[in-house]
Amino acid sequence: MSNSDKSLEELLTEIRACKICEADLPLGPRPVLVVDRDAPILIAGQAPGTKVHESGVPWDDPSGDRLREWLDVDKEIFYDPRKFAIVPQGFCYPGRLEKGGDAPPRPECAATWHPNLIPKLTNVKLILAVGQYAHGYHLSGIKKKNLTETVRAYKEYGPAILPLPHPSWRVTGWIKKNSWFESEIVPHLQERVHSLLNEAAKI
């Protein structure tokens, strides 16, 4: 049976048992994702950090705190799988770069699982592409030459996709330099998210 013929539940069982990259993962495989076919919003991030690897809870770190501030939602709403699906580019912690910072998501992950997993999330009306690796995948062929220009051009990708910077501590200086992000895009993001959550609550 091909992955495309499997049910969402069967596919998730295989993903959570995945060991494709095991030899290249310094902490071993621990796929972290949240998926429910009813979720109207998909958060497409990069890959878990060490804290998320330990807890098994996505965005369970300061980056998650900042992302929830941007979305204007609390943890109860954020972790409700009927509201938010969370599918990063890499499901497991990829390790660190020699020069510092986390390594890129393992490329095998998205190539193996995303083409069959994402289409099964049939109720998703908004993909939040968080960080440059998510931009590369979900905006393939149409993203701009860098993250700043891609995020600034958010209107070109709506209403289905909204590109965001990664909310790590490293983005603090970028936000100060690009004040339009918090004055223009964050309010737009919050309005779009709350509109979709309100629609979902009426169903």
Domain with 81 in it: what CATH number?
Answer: 3.40.470.10
Mean pLDDT by 10 residues, the chain (203 residues): 77 96 96 96 97 96 97 98 98 90 93 96 97 97 97 96 96 96 98 96 74
Are residues 196 and 41 in contact, defined by beta-carbon separation less than 8 angstroms?
yes
Q: What is the pLDDT of residue 2?
A: 59
Counted domains in the chain: 1
Per-residue model confidence (pLDDT) at position 201: 84
pTM tops 0.85? yes
Is residue 40 within 8 A of residue 126, CB to CB? The reply is: yes
The whole-number pLDDT of residue 5 equals 67
Domain containing 66 equals: 3-202
Which residue, 52, 79, 63, 76, is CA-closest to 164? Answer: 63
Q: State the Cα–Cα distance between residues 81 and 123, nearest whole angstrom.
A: 12
153 within 8 A of 32, measured Cβ to Cβ: no
In the block, tokens 């009306």 appear at 125
* Secondary structure class of 96 (helix, strand, coil): strand
Which H or E run includes 78? helix 75-78
